[in-house]
Structures are given as C-alpha cells and as structure tokens.
Amino acid sequence: MQADKRIFLTLDGLRGIAAIMIVLFHSRAIVGHFHPASAYLSVDLFFALSGCVLEASYRERLAAGLSTRAFMRIRFIRLWPLFALSLLIGLAFALLRLNMGVGHDTPASIAMALVTGLALLPSPSLSGHDWVMPLNVAGWSLVLELAINALYAWTWRRMSNALLWVVVTGAGLVLTAASLAHGGVDMGSTWGSVAGGLVRVLYSFSLGVLIFRAYDGRVRRGWVAALVPLCLVPILAMGGGGPLFDLACALFVLPLLVWVGLRLEPAPGLDRLFRWAGLTSYAVYVLHGPVLQFAKLAIFHYLRPRTDAVWMAGLGAIAALVLLSAAVDRWYDTPVRRKLSTHLRRRREALAGERAMTAP
C-alpha cells in the first residue's frame, strides 16, 4: 500500500487523546484533580500532525499543479463549518454575559469578533480583551493553521528538504529563546504572545512535513500501536515542568510520537476506535470552549463549589461534549462540507464554460 493512500489510524488516536486532554486543561474549574497541566502542548502536536498528514495527502496534487488558491479553498471548507457553529455558541454566551453586566465586552466588540471570526481572521481588541479569538479562544490555532497552510502550498515546489531543515532549525532556536523569556511554550492565544504562536506553528508544521518526507512506507500492525497515544497522557498530565520541559516536548518528544505513529497501525478491534477518535477530535477541540462555558455556568449555579459533585458533573459534561461532537461531525459538519464542495465545483465548472464560450 502506498504511504500517501493510507489512513493513519495511530495518528488519529494521537489526535483524539490530545483533544480530550486539552478539553480537560481548559476545564480546571470543574474537573479538579483531572486537570492535565501541560496539555497546551497538544497544539504543538496538532501542528506537527497537520504538516505530516497534509504532505501525505496533497504532495501528488501539488506536484500536478494544484494551485495555492485551490488548496486553501479545500482547507477553508474543512475548517469553517464547525468553527462557524462554535462562534454562534460563543456569541450566545457573550450576549448572555453582556445582559448580565459581566465583563467589558460591548455590542461593537462582540459584532467585530463575530465578523472577523467567521472569516477565520483574528479579532482586534476593542474592549480591552487580549484574546486573538474572543468568541472561541481555541480559534487562534486555526488562524495560524490556515496561515501556515497557505505558506506551505505557496512554497511547496521550492521547498527542498535542505531548506526545510534550515527553517526548522531557525524556528527551533527562536522558539527556544521565546519560551525561555515567556516561561513556557504556551503562546499564541493572546495578542501579547501571538509572535510565539507563529514560531510554534512554523517549527512543528515544518517538522511534520519533514517527518513524512523521511517515511519509508513500512508499517507494523498490532496492539503495540495503542502505546503511542497512551504515552501522550503522562506527557500532557505532567505539571510544573517549566520551559525546559515544554521545549523538550515541543522540539523532540511530540514529533517523535508522530514519527513512531506513522510506522505503527492498530490491530483489529482498535482500528475503529482510533478512526472514531480522529474523526471526532476536531469537533471536540473547536466546540469545547463555548459549549463548556454554558456547562460551567450551570454547574456552579446548581452545585456548591469545591465539592465532589462539581468534578463529577464536570466529567459528565465533557462526556456529553464528546457525544455531541460525534453527532455534530456526522450530521452537520460532513454534510455541510460536502455541499460547499459541490457548490464550489459547479460554480467553477460554470465559470469555465462561460470563458470557453466567450473565448475568441
């Protein structure tokens, strides 16, 4: 089987575990001791996975002449429907806070955040907030994902392995300096740290591309593949590691998991679970912020803080989020993306026909 025709199920398992861990990270108030203190490193893993999988999926099409514009259209359709839905949920929560007189948002700042968010662009700070994507904080990584995707497609034909290694080395050195100054790798979600986020995506995505280019196509199948996603749990659960721990993980350990994951595939019985985890992971990641805002509000309204009932309700809310994400992925995201792709294809065909008819 050709490497670029494979479905990378172990990488799907990695993506699914990382998504759950970052949900727990952002839910500390309602999950108590189940808080994985280093789960922000999931984003570095996502960027490396993206570089690896996009290189596997699109290198032949890019070599055959797929344009940057066409590539970005594909990527926008992949990311936009679910993120647009998350923004509407975030909008509802922002309007609720505004009605309650909580926070510093204004109708103008909320409207600006919605308009820019729907375009998958960062939102200017109009009310003193520092978030790049105030209606869904996790959206900062999608902005950088699209930016690196555009750079990847635009430079693909000129980007040799040697040049990629220069980029990775330079980005790694800058990331090291930025992380030591910042106190860790957790940068990018705020305007004050957005430069650090740019370096994170440049390093991890570029290394992900190199990882696939070095892949020899060999695959080992078996239950040992389960160890790859499981190894991620203690890494992301460790707290207080400091900038050196963050850098070791972002620069070496997480890319190594991607490298190993390419070469291992799960045995029958695990393959469906890994596939499901991969399919659901994006919905879990993009919906968790605004959905769990409502969950936290309800939990603290009906339950006394710092009781066992709070973390039990919190874990129940996260389990419900996962089920909701699976349903949304199947019955909303997939059909909407299919319809958008069909509509754009028919539009391109119509435009091509008009040009042919008007050609001299």
CA 73 to chain centre: 18
How high is the pLDDT of residue 306?
67
Q: What is the pLDDT of residues 211-241, one digit of tens each?
A: 999 999 999 999 999 999 999 999 999 877 8
Q: 204: helix, coil or strand?
A: helix
Q: How far is CA 25 from the centre of its chain?
A: 15
Q: Which two tokens stand for residue 59?
A: 């290198």
Identify whether the C-beta of residue 310 lies closer than 8 Å to the C-beta of residue 34: no
- Which tokens in the block code for residue 93? 């929560």
Query: By the 8 A CB rule, do 105 and 129 touch?
Result: yes
The tens digit of pLDDT for each residue in 67-102 reads: 999 999 999 999 999 999 999 999 999 999 999 988
pLDDT at 304: 75
Q: Tell me which residues of the chain have a pLDDT lower than 50.
A: 1-4
Q: How many CB atoms lie within 10 A of CB 241?
A: 16
Partners of 131 in beta bridges: 190
* Amino acid type, 180: L
- Report yes or no on whether pTM surpasses 0.85: yes
10 Å Cβ neighbour count for 221? 15
CA angle (165, 174, 257) in 5-degree steps: 55
SS3 content of the chain, % helix, strand, coil (to 5): 80, 0, 20
